[in-house]
Structure 1
Amino acid sequence: MNGPNPANKHPMEGFPQVCFIKNTVKNPNILIGDYTYYDDPEGAEDFERNVLYHYPFIGDKLVIGKFCALAKGVRFIMNGANHKLSGISTYPFQIFGNGWEKVMPEPGDLPYKGDTVVGNDVWIGYDALVMPGVRIGNGAVISSRSVVTADIAPYTIVGGNPARHIRTRLDLGRVRGLEELAW
């Protein structure tokens, strides 16, 4: 069994809506594992449009493991969407320059949730939204239109807004064994 070439953008002949996105992402702060695909008839090669508020000066990363299946409309909100809440205004004056940059908050003053990390073999359904700094464990399933606001344990199925535990996919012994494989 050879399988498809992970360097091929479109592994399914005649189906350009399916794309191994590691071959199309150019942003150095988006890291994608082999065989992870995005399925979108409106432009699977343009996955980066779904990574929102990902400003290079913040430096956060989106890391997606191997063998993940991402449905159309999956979006990742990154740390650039966060606004300082402790001041008298939440408006980000400093990013517009022209003198306003003088009120630039210190890096620790801005809400920063860390990198967003998706494990291996994760299936994220249609129109799901993943918030900044979330960690999704290997083998997890995120149902369509879910809003993931907190970490998801490996081999767990979640859904809703906010996404909540529905059930585990496998028994604990099997999960332990799969986690030991370390992909």
Structure 2
Amino acid sequence: MTIAPDKNKLYPNENIRTVCYIKNLPSRPNVEIGDYTYYSDNKNSPENFYDHIQHHYEFLGDKLIIGKFCAIAEGVTFIMNGANHRMDGITTYPFNIFAGGWEKVTPTLEQLPFKGDTVIGNDVWLGQNVTIMPGAVMGDGAIVASNSTVVKDIEPYTIVGGNPAKVIKKRFNDETIIALLKLQWWNWDEQQIFDHLEQLVSVHDMDTLKKLLNSVN
């Protein structure tokens, strides 16, 4: 009996070629993708996922880290630190990149704004055409509404939307969120996930959630 799709296949369901597990694309420096995280693209091949990581230059050292079981819709764009211009002068114009003598004002890495790694937690849902700005950290279970721009960190199990993205609501109360973060179902093995699929996709009260915690720990 099959209990899970093959996490090592690019297209786990050969009948749906618009969705792929992006961990199984050719590797790219400073990009880390968790198991079962998928990218969906109905307009182009989902194999173009890396095209949506922009201004990501290896010499800067910033990473894009995406956890397990994330759902990434078409048009999502990750803006990395290489997009930043020096902002402490009279102008932000990047003279140096055009050479012709202007390279004499090439900034050092210390002079450029650097926001650090961009980190997407586990079980995060990014809607269509979402833009993630450099250094944003998104907690586990977060949801970003379509056409939003994320400019700052998002707490776990929080729904945000807009430009810039703002909190719409928490998905659950604080007690439930604490329990879910302790549960960490995305780290279960395939058999545990299969055995608890019905519970994972259902609404829980705290008593049920506590029983689930006790049964898998």
Please state which band the TM-score falls in when normalised by the shorter chain. over 0.9
Shift of 1:89: 2.5
Aligned to 2:182: 180
Q: What is the DSSP-based 3-state SS (H/G/I as helix, E as strand, rest coil) of the residue aligned with 2:160? A: strand
Shift of 1:25: 4.4
Shift of 1:13: 2.2
Shift of 1:158: 0.5
Q: Which structure has the highest helix share of the two? A: 2
* Equivalent position to 1:130, from 129, 132, 143: 132
Aligned to 1:164: 166
Shift of 1:160: 0.7
Q: Is the 8 A contact 2:11 2:19 kept in 1?
A: yes
Q: Deviations over 1:135-167 (max 9, x none)?
A: 000000000001111100000001111111111
* Alignment CA distance shift 1:100-1:57 (3 Å): farther
Higher gyration radius (CA): 2
Aligned to 2:5: 4
* 1:23 equivalent in alignment to 2:59: no
* Alignment CA distance shift 1:59-1:95 (3 Å): farther
The whole-number CA distance in structure 2 between the counterparts of 1:83 and 1:139 is 32
Aligned to 2:69: 67
The whole-number CA distance in structure 1 between the counterparts of 2:75 and 2:158 is 21
The whole-number CA distance in structure 2 between the counterparts of 1:156 and 1:14 is 33
Q: What is the DSSP-based 3-state SS (H/G/I as helix, E as strand, rest coil) of the residue aligned with 2:60? A: coil
What code does the residue aligned with 2:65 have?
A: V
- Structure 1 unpaired stretches of 5+: none
The size of the alignment, in residue pairs, is 183
Q: Deviations over 1:55-78 (max 9, x none)?
A: 122111100000000000011100
* Equivalent position to 1:87, from 72, 86, 89: 89
Q: What is the DSSP-based 3-state SS (H/G/I as helix, E as strand, rest coil) of the residue aligned with 1:31? A: strand
Aligned to 1:108: 110
What is the TM-score normalised by the length of structure 2? 0.80
What is the TM-score normalised by the length of structure 1? 0.94
Q: CA RMSD in A?
A: 1.5
Q: Is the 8 A contact 1:25 1:47 kept in 2?
A: no
Q: Is the 8 A contact 1:140 1:154 kept in 2?
A: yes
Q: Is the 8 A contact 2:29 2:58 kept in 1?
A: no
